Structure 1
Amino acid sequence: MRLLRARRLDDGLHSGTALSDAVRAGRMLRLRRGVYVEVSDWVRTPPWDRHLITVIATTAQEGDVVFCRESALALHGVPLLEVPDAVRRRCTSRGAARRVPAPSMTGSRSRGQVRGMLAAATGPGEPVPTETICVGLPTHRLEPTLPAGMSRSAARRAPDGGEPALPREELDASVVPWCAADVAAYVVEPLALAVVDTVPRLSFAEGVVILDAVLGGHTRSGARVEVAELAAWTDRLPSRRLRERWDRALAAADPRAESPGESWSRVRLDELGFELPELQSRIDVEDRTYWVDVEWLGAGIAGEFDGGMKYTRAARLSGQDPSQVVYAEKIREDAIRSTGRDMVRWGWAELRHPERLARLLVVHGVPRPRAAGR
């Protein structure tokens, strides 16, 4: 995928004119002022990557932008459970701290024209997305976090302007290899600070997903953080409520969880009152060793979160047909069952509708020592 930037051409003309015409014709979308993407590329991109593309477009437009919270985490390669509702970046003055609406991605095109544009950009047999995917993400400008003992008002009254230097680091543009945008690097807050500043502001499940990933190194780049690195930034949490939410999420984190689905599953199991299982359990069958996401050791039940993507990803990496991957997984499951263990699987639908997950686990006899929510 390539993002196109409006620029002056060698003949003295400006490419922005042609790009604006392409928006009016339904071939391009405007992500930020002067930054465009082809409609077909946008339609084929999953929602979580659309946020990341908009972060990249913001860099292309504004240059030296320090990204924070979820936007920094996305650039660091940390998986997020929910798609962020804005691009988040730092600003250095009170007057600049606000939400800036995104430009119209489709110009003056009517809803009917947008629907027709999306239909034309959708492959045969694929569902046509709704026009809501062409509603751009705003930019949320946030004042910097402050060290312990420095209040916001005191920082503003300081003679030198008050704000301490923004913690920052540069990430090479190669951290997002699938998107070319004529950008040399992205400026972000350090990973540990971004985690501490983000986790207590999200739901408990979202926070656990982030912590599991960074503590276990299950990020796109393999980057991980240690608890001590996180502790070094917790003095920047400005309220007791945020510190309590942080402590609760950190206490529930487990680096052995290898995917957001596994992390959210553990949260759901606890919410529903089920016994928490052993993670990444090893099962030996004759001369083969298998690993399962979870196992209730005393009950003889193995469980796995099945997000569906592992079949297509495994097929792509191995060169096998997806049906071969599914068959191999069946052989694996049959081998595990041959040990006398039961096997239960669930996916995103059960996590988003916990009553379904509860019914499934009860049918398989998963121990449930207490009622849900207690």
Structure 2
Amino acid sequence: MAAAGRRVVSSRDAERLGVDARALRRAATDGRLVRVRRDAYVDGTRWGRATGPARHLVQVSAAARALPDAVFSHESAAAVWGLPVLGGWPSSVRVVGAYRGGGRRLAGVVHRSSTLTVETESRAGIRVTTCSRTVVDLARERPFATALAAADHALRAGLVTEEELALLVASLGPRRGVRGARHVVAHASGLAESPGESLSRARMIEIGLVLPALQAEMRDSRGLIGRVDFWWPTLGIVGEFDGRVKYRRDEVDDRRSPDDRLWDEKLREDRLRAAGSRVVRWTWDDAWDVARFADVMRRAGVPLAS
């Protein structure tokens, strides 16, 4: 069953590999394989290690085999495009427009018709809504922070432009959710380097704080100190989002040990403070809780916008 570690496997695939249906079912029963939908199996070990977006992408791939004419949208398109979705991934996949399944309901598939023209692209053999449409769809339905993280990533990765997003939102007229989408597009920035930074900025906007510059280069008499996540120049405050990922060797493109990275971070912060900046740090837990994040900002001295 090694092939299941690389892709979704159906009973027909298994037969070509010399594995009969009973063996396939036994492998699913004992956990060597996981059934992600009807007649679609993946390697159990890899599934157990997979993150939320990776699991949803597998579900999309499996559904695409059953629905070859489907156009995947919303979070399902986001998984294909590689966009982050804060707040959790749905258990069902999303498709829009007509598909070969006709009107019948399929387990694990949420189908919505649309009065809008559905512009699509093919990514890895899967038909999805365009990246700009995907971002705007999320912005019309999901919370502001979730949609902002997706929009920021799409801009940073060069998958969309600000002009494309603005034109698409303008073309929607007064439809449901357009006001929220317009709010997201107005604040989206390709300068945000992580979903955590996008979440933090979303909270600043929701609270109504004075907004900082993003990814500012900080210098002292010795030269460049480095770039900081957030910088309030008139306040002399540096803001840094602390995601644990930056200290895990297997999830960053940095071969230094976690201890070395922590030490370098301390030296960097010492230089920032010596140059006259106040440094405030916060975590995922802080940013998820609006009231808690507002308290972090208040204690740091970041005021409300006038």
TM-score if structure 2 supplies the norm length? 0.86
% identity of equivalent residues: 34
Matched, 1:9 2:12: no
1:93 is displaced (CA, Å) by 6.8
**Alpha-carbon contact 2:238-2:280 (below 8 Å) kept:** yes
1:167 to 84, 109, 119: 119
User: Partners of 2:46 and 2:69 in 1: how far apart?
Assistant: 26
Matched, 1:87 2:22: no
* Cα distance change of structure 1 residues 317 and 226 upon mapping to structure 2, 3 Å threshold: closer
Corresponding position of 1:265: 200
Secondary structure, in 3 states, of the residue corresponding to 2:215? strand
Corresponding position of 2:141: 201
**Alpha-carbon contact 2:70-2:99 (below 8 Å) kept:** no
Matched, 1:287 2:257: no
User: Partners of 2:128 and 2:96 in 1: how far apart?
Assistant: 9
* Cα distance change of structure 1 residues 93 and 216 upon mapping to structure 2, 3 Å threshold: closer
What are the within-5 Å matches in structure 2 for residues 208-357 of structure 1? 208-217=148-157, 223-234=158-169, 237=172, 239-285=174-220, 286-312=222-248, 317-357=253-293
Aligned residues: 298
The amino acid that maps onto 1:74 is A
1:239 is displaced (CA, Å) by 4.4
Secondary structure, in 3 states, of the residue corresponding to 2:61? helix
1:302 is displaced (CA, Å) by 0.2
Q: Deviations over 1:314-336 (max 9, x none)?
A: 87533222211111111111111
Corresponding position of 1:189: 129
The amino acid that maps onto 1:146 is L
Secondary structure, in 3 states, of the residue corresponding to 1:31? strand
Question: Any stretches of 5+ residues in structure 1 without a counterpart?
Answer: 102-137, 148-165, 173-184, 218-222
2:59 to 54, 69, 76: 54
Secondary structure, in 3 states, of the residue corresponding to 1:198? helix
What are the within-5 Å matches in structure 2 for residues 30-45 of structure 1? 30-45=35-50
User: Partners of 2:164 and 2:24 in 1: how far apart?
Assistant: 45
User: Partners of 1:10 and 1:240 in 2: how far apart?
Assistant: 49
* Cα distance change of structure 1 residues 316 and 263 upon mapping to structure 2, 3 Å threshold: closer
User: Partners of 1:339 and 1:332 in 2: how far apart?
Assistant: 11
User: Partners of 2:51 and 2:289 in 1: how far apart?
Assistant: 22
**Alpha-carbon contact 2:218-2:225 (below 8 Å) kept:** yes
The amino acid that maps onto 2:26 is D
* Cα distance change of structure 1 residues 146 and 255 upon mapping to structure 2, 3 Å threshold: same
1:30 is displaced (CA, Å) by 0.4
Q: Deviations over 1:296-326 (max 9, x none)?
A: 1112110011111122258753322221111
The amino acid that maps onto 2:153 is A
* Higher RCO structure (Cα 8 Å, ≥6 apart): 1
Secondary structure, in 3 states, of the residue corresponding to 2:261? helix
Question: Any stretches of 5+ residues in structure 2 without a counterpart?
Answer: none
Corresponding position of 1:179: none
User: Partners of 1:26 and 1:93 in 2: how far apart?
Assistant: 33
Deviates more, 1:242-251 or 1:296-305: 242-251
* Cα distance change of structure 1 residues 364 and 244 upon mapping to structure 2, 3 Å threshold: closer
The amino acid that maps onto 1:318 is D
User: Partners of 2:251 and 2:163 in 1: how far apart?
Assistant: 39
**Alpha-carbon contact 1:96-1:141 (below 8 Å) kept:** no
The amino acid that maps onto 2:133 is L
User: Partners of 1:142 and 1:26 in 2: how far apart?
Assistant: 34
Please provide the CA RMSD for this pair: 2.7
User: Partners of 2:137 and 2:247 in 1: how far apart?
Assistant: 35
**Alpha-carbon contact 1:98-1:142 (below 8 Å) kept:** no
**Alpha-carbon contact 2:225-2:268 (below 8 Å) kept:** no
Q: Which structure is larger by alpha-carbon Rg, 1 or 2?
A: 1
